[in-house]
Structure 1
């Protein structure tokens, strides 16, 4: 009823705007938990940031870097990069954009619990003039330019003095926005809908985008989301359930776009909560009892790649011979060797609207573990509630997905398997509480190694250690699938990181 009421609201809103306004109505599986771009390092937050803020630079579909608020950049020395910024840009507040806003944003990122591990490499910034800034690192870093794609300059004058970062809290930054992006937020009902209008003073006058009004509704149920597209209530949806893909492809007037993705889905096994999980034989047994290939085939209908490691084949840490292994007999033997032939009970939590068919995958995992006499008490939660529980490490087994922020293996390791350290931000999403100092040292050295071959060896050493330790349960690399009306040219603006560049979207009238 809430969704239908919102669509009626949208209709009246669009009639008021006039027939010449290009409009886009979207239904995604969830909305961002906050308007603060630094509160949570998540896909939803980054999608929102690309709507109302602008990055210094961004990835293209071919894996190159595209200038945005930074017009150009060059390396000054081994530890310094200089960025030349775009002039004549204004925030929604009317305040002019300058290098001071970039310096302010980087310092704020360094104190964000979720982002600080990535930005810890940056030691300081130097303002050369109003539109030139030098970024200094504490050591040589081969990924500095990758990291800078996560700098979405914030309006220093607008936020300063009321810019505290509180996860899942109510702060000024979590409720107010002043960005330079293609859209401005005009209305938000948390968990219900968001309405955006085109930024009338947007700096990118070369953008082909013609969307003037944008509405986004979070719709948890796959079937409801697809029904809204089929009925014409929305123009663009994500994701598509694997069981609906073939049907969607056969419907005239709709288009389906699918891209392979390097996002890894995995299960954490909390070694601090449960003594049983401190035994590597038990962790290996759990890995061997979970049939990744069957999950991909039966539940995801082939729209994922089974994983036996964290690094996808596009990353330097990938090891070709680390394939997923399913061996129920060996899993039972390991349980017996560890003294748990009669099994035990574990709690498990997973989201039910964050990843493709996540609840069904979690149910399948619980059933598979029952075959080695591990009884799983499964609880699934909507995304907004789940990640608070995840941060609190509320269950013995917890599901999470991770898209490398730097398109590199080491970002995965830093956040998912490094020893948890609140001061540095390392291990911020390590719900296994796994900790091996030698892995942390390899992570540190890989972040300083400029030679690609030596760096690859270092990253593969980490990957092999994680495999031998059965540190986590890699599940699969999930494909991304969007659907839209034919007139909505989504193919040009979607990408394998799932940050659709909606500011450049063209809707044919």
Structure 2
């Protein structure tokens, strides 16, 4: 395994990775997003729609769909938290903002990186970077932050491949991995690897989320539970100060209400516009949509360890997929704002490969059930899901389709915390659950391992396949994506045969904007970043 990586490293080590260069993990398809609007002359990125003298508002108001968990990046792992944390903190490296996730890894707090060996990468840090508390970032802050991530009960699962962090000098660190690890750079782009102020975090570890201190474009001002969070532009930001002084993020869990607030001008940007509201926004002369193909795959986890029960049989799991018309599901439930999923990662991911597509075929489903020992079906299954209207519609469609082949589907909704608990504790009744996986790193080698490796905390299918485990370990040890192609082809073949989960659709990121918002670029992961040039004109 190491020999194969060493061949690639021999060439990689010959050149120091400077400026906009990157490691060997950048072969995904760029996903830059699009803006559509009814109002002419207000294209995102085109400047003021009212001419050169138009005044920039000092505050952009943003409607979020969910309340946050924690603004400590080593605790708050949910998207709802990362949406805000990503404005406050920076990482060592990031995906090129113009190309999007899966395009090219570019410098952030690190200006360059070099592979010293197949398990050691040296990072040169950007000098003179200030934290919001006025302290200058050094290697001590970087070491402290990454080790804090590694030791975190909440986000440490993202860092299981890491072994240690060494300080070379004030502006140089070495990250050591336990074994060759190709997704390292991609993993360092995500929020859990944010660099925090050691002085601020170590002074009050338990309450750092109440007063987060990073190096990002915006600094924390206030947060009111269930209501709003306010951020202020950081004048000493190493990137330059943002043009918009304040971001006022209000919590609006009612889906339709976010669209209404956008229409009335009470907010300038609204996240997670409902698919059936998109046309309404597009037809408004005062609004526009910002969209891009999402990195989030909605899927059904199967309890593969349900021995003696139908769902424990891979042929039954295959039959269920043959009952589903995924394109029809996207058209009916999502109003066409999505795409059918067969692989668990989208094509903009590094190391993505297309897989076999099983079309809807009820006769094939019946034949598979008969082969599994269940001619005509004649059994029931439980499906558990979060209290989400879209997921419920999906489950109801699935229920109707499975009935056609003699399977009764019992639907039960519950809060997400209860769902997570029952998946673990009530395995006698756990057959299926509706979930999603968001490929935040943009690297399928990270995502597939995270979801399906037998010992992964995220493996809610409890799938264990020794050959698949071996392929996942072997594949993620090879930097050269082309060299690992055959490994992932075999792995995806096993996954499609065993069906530990049922990929259903990839989402489309749907953000509503006031027509005077300029410079906003939607991100595939839904964690949109407000760059220096994002403004709203009065």
Gaps of 5+ in 1: 1-18, 164-170, 422-426
Which of 12, 33, 52 is the matching residue for 2:88? 52
- In the alignment, is residue 228 of structure 1 matched against residue 256 of structure 2? no
- In the alignment, is residue 377 of structure 1 matched against residue 410 of structure 2? yes
- In the alignment, is residue 444 of structure 1 matched against residue 484 of structure 2? no
- 1:246 is aligned to 279
Pairwise CA distance, 1:86: 2.4
Which of 519, 526, 538 is the matching residue for 1:498? 526
Gaps of 5+ in 2: 1-54
Distance 1:439 1:113, change over 3 A: farther
Matched-pair contact (CA < 8 Å) for 1:56–1:70? yes
User: 5 Å matches for 1:419-438?
Assistant: 419=454, 421=455, 427-438=456-467
Distance 1:40 1:127, change over 3 A: same
Matched-pair contact (CA < 8 Å) for 1:31–1:218? yes
Whole-angstrom distance in 1 between the partners of 2:222 and 2:391: 30
Select between 325-334 and 468-477 the one with higher mean Cα deviation: 325-334
Whole-angstrom distance in 2 between the partners of 1:484 and 1:490: 11
Which of 130, 148, 166 is the matching residue for 1:90? 130
Residue deviations 1:130-172 (CA, integer Å, cap 9, x gap): 2211222233333322222132112222223764xxxxxxx42
Which of 222, 226, 238 is the matching residue for 1:203? 238
- In the alignment, is residue 313 of structure 1 matched against residue 336 of structure 2? no
Whole-angstrom distance in 2 between the partners of 1:86 and 1:185: 22
Matched-pair contact (CA < 8 Å) for 1:57–1:148? yes
User: 5 Å matches for 1:4-153?
Assistant: 22-60=58-96, 61-62=98-99, 63-113=103-153, 115-150=155-190, 151-153=193-195
Whole-angstrom distance in 2 between the partners of 1:144 and 1:89: 23
Matched-pair contact (CA < 8 Å) for 2:56–2:536? no
Distance 1:297 1:45, change over 3 A: same
- 1:484 is aligned to 513
In structure 1, the residue corresponding to 2:230 is in which secondary structure? strand
Matched-pair contact (CA < 8 Å) for 1:38–1:115? yes
Distance 1:393 1:315, change over 3 A: farther
In structure 1, the residue corresponding to 2:453 is in which secondary structure? coil
Whole-angstrom distance in 2 between the partners of 1:390 and 1:507: 45
Pairwise CA distance, 1:269: 1.0
- 2:324 is aligned to 290
Whole-angstrom distance in 2 between the partners of 1:344 and 1:187: 53
Whole-angstrom distance in 2 between the partners of 1:57 and 1:214: 24
Which of 242, 255, 258 is the matching residue for 2:288? 255
- 1:194 is aligned to 229
Matched-pair contact (CA < 8 Å) for 1:211–1:503? no
Matched-pair contact (CA < 8 Å) for 2:291–2:522? no
- 1:14 is aligned to none
Distance 1:470 1:77, change over 3 A: closer
**More relative contact order, 1 or 2 (CA 8 Å, 6+ apart):** 2
In structure 2, the residue corresponding to 1:133 is in which secondary structure? strand
Whole-angstrom distance in 2 between the partners of 1:363 and 1:442: 36
Pairwise CA distance, 1:127: 1.0
Matched-pair contact (CA < 8 Å) for 1:335–1:343? no
Whole-angstrom distance in 1 between the partners of 2:134 and 2:222: 19
Residue deviations 1:387-436 (CA, integer Å, cap 9, x gap): 666676785322222232332222222121111x3xxxxx2221111111
Whole-angstrom distance in 1 between the partners of 2:248 and 2:414: 25
Distance 1:113 1:436, change over 3 A: farther
Select between 73-82 and 452-461 the one with higher mean Cα deviation: 73-82
Pairwise CA distance, 1:304: 1.3
- 2:14 is aligned to none
Distance 1:316 1:181, change over 3 A: closer
Pairwise CA distance, 1:83: 1.7
Aligned residues: 473
Whole-angstrom distance in 1 between the partners of 2:176 and 2:381: 46
Whole-angstrom distance in 2 between the partners of 1:233 and 1:447: 47
**Which TM-score applies when normalising by structure 1?**
0.85
- 1:346 is aligned to 381
Pairwise CA distance, 1:218: 2.8
Pairwise CA distance, 1:281: 1.7
Which of 159, 174, 189 is the matching residue for 2:201? 159
**RMSD across aligned positions (CA):** 2.7
Pairwise CA distance, 1:502: 1.3
Matched-pair contact (CA < 8 Å) for 2:272–2:510? yes
Which of 267, 271, 289 is the matching residue for 2:304? 271
In structure 2, the residue corresponding to 1:160 is in which secondary structure? helix
